[in-house]
Amino acid sequence: DGGITQSPKYLFRKEGQNVTLSCEQNLNHDAMYWYRQDPGQGLRLIYYSQIVNDFQKGDIAEGYSVSREKKESFPLTVTSAQKNPTAFYLCASSRSSDFNYGYTFGSGTRLTVV
């Protein structure tokens, strides 16, 4: 079955550490996105990529980095520069040519700073 796989489901980070969240899709979608979700804040866009080897900053990119070396993969690194990283992170993908269904989302990664 086609879909988006995010791993791990839960992740714990110590102060000063970088951590990487994985996102893989087998939907043959061109575009991929990373969102952060906090209680009462809704979904906020971190980074997005519409094509391999290209990506753009979203609304809250500071303290995060991404890469898009393959169409299927869009990993997100939360760096030590991100001062408040505890949140629920969602990866999504979409077709560039057909937006009928909006985004397809993964099941999320919950990151906690310990």
Partner 1 sequence: EDQVTQSPEALRLQEGESSSLNCSYTVSGLRGLFWYRQDPGKGPEFLFTLYSAGEEKEKERLKATLTKKESFLHITAPKPEDSATYLCAVHRAQGGSEKLVFGKGTKLTVNP
Q: List contacts with partner 1 (CB under 8 A).
A: 4, 6, 31, 35, 40-43, 45, 48, 50, 56, 88, 90, 92, 94, 96, 99-108, 110
Closest CB to partner 1 among residues 59, 69: 59
Residue 100 CB, shortest distance to partner 1, in Å, is: 6
End-to-end Cα distance, the chain:
36
Closest CB to partner 1 among residues 35, 64: 35
Contact criterion met (CB below 8 Å) for 80 and 16: yes
Residue 88 CB, shortest distance to partner 1, in Å, is: 8
Q: Exposure string (b/e) for 35-50, b if CB count within 10 Å is 16 or more?
A: bbeeeeeeeebbbbbe
C-alpha–C-alpha distance, residues 37 and 44, integer Å: 6
Closest CB to partner 1 among residues 76, 90: 90
